Amino acid sequence: MSYLTFEQDRKLDVIAIGRLCIDLNANEINRPMEETMTFTKYVGGSPANISIGLAKLGMKTGFIGKVANDQMGRFATHYLQSNNIDTEGIVIDRTGAVTGLAFTEIKSPEECSILMYRDNVADLKLEISEVSEDYMKQAKAILISGTALAKSPSREAVFVALEYARKHQVTVIFDVDYRPYTWQSEEETSIYYNLAAEKSDLIIGTREEFDMMEKLTVDGPSNDEFTANKWFSYHAKIVIIKHGGEGSIAYTKDGLSHRGGIFKTKVLKTFGAGDSYASALIYSLMNGMTIQEAMRFGSASASIVISKHSSSDAMPSVDEIKEFMAAAEEVVSK
**What pLDDT is recorded for position 20?**
97
**What pLDDT is recorded for position 94?**
96
**What pLDDT is recorded for position 244?**
84
pLDDT of 220 over the 70 cut? no
Average pLDDT over residues 212-223: 79
134-148 pLDDT, tens per residue? 999 999 999 999 999
Closest CA to 157 of 320, 322, 13, 17: 17
- DSSP assignment letter at 314: T
DSSP string, 19-65: --EEEEEESS-SS-GGG---EEEEEE-HHHHHHHHHHHTT--EEEEE
88-144 pLDDT, tens per residue? 999 999 999 999 999 999 888 878 888 999 999 999 999 999 999 999 999 999 999
**What pLDDT is recorded for position 60?**
98
Strand order in the sheet with 248-252: 86-92, 61-67, 12-17, 139-145, 171-175, 202-206, 238-242, 248-252, 257-260
Distances (CA, A) of 238 to 7, 92, 202: 18, 35, 5
H-helix or E-strand spanning residue 143:
strand 139-145
Cα-flanking dihedrals φ and ψ of residue 282, to 5°? -65, -45
What is the rounded distance in angstroms from the CA atom of residue 328 to the CA atom of residue 244?
18
Handedness of CA 136, 160, 210, 258 (dihedral sign): negative
Considering the entire predicted model, what is its pTM? 0.96
Domain range annotation of the chain: 12-20+46-96+126-331
pLDDT of 203 over the 80 cut? yes
pLDDT of 219 over the 90 cut? no
Three-class secondary structure of residue 173 per DSSP: strand
* Torsion of the alpha carbons at 228, 229, 232 and 238, rounded to the nearest 10: 30
1-26 pLDDT, tens per residue? 679 999 999 999 999 999 999 999 99
What percent of the chain clears pLDDT 90, i.e. is strictly above it?
89
Question: Does domain 12-20+46-96+126-331 match CATH 3.40.1190.20?
Answer: yes
Radius of gyration of the chain (CA): 18
Closest CA to 243 of 303, 178, 332, 172: 332
Q: In this structure, are residues 181 and 209 in contact, taking their beta carbons and an 8 Å threshold?
A: no
Q: In this structure, are residues 289 and 297 in contact, taking their beta carbons and an 8 Å threshold?
A: yes
259-312 pLDDT, tens per residue? 999 999 999 998 899 999 999 999 999 999 999 999 999 999 999 999 999 999
What percent of the chain clears pLDDT 70, i.e. is strictly above it?
98
Tell me whether strands 262-263 and 330-331 are parallel, antiparallel or unpaired: antiparallel
**What pLDDT is recorded for position 239?**
98
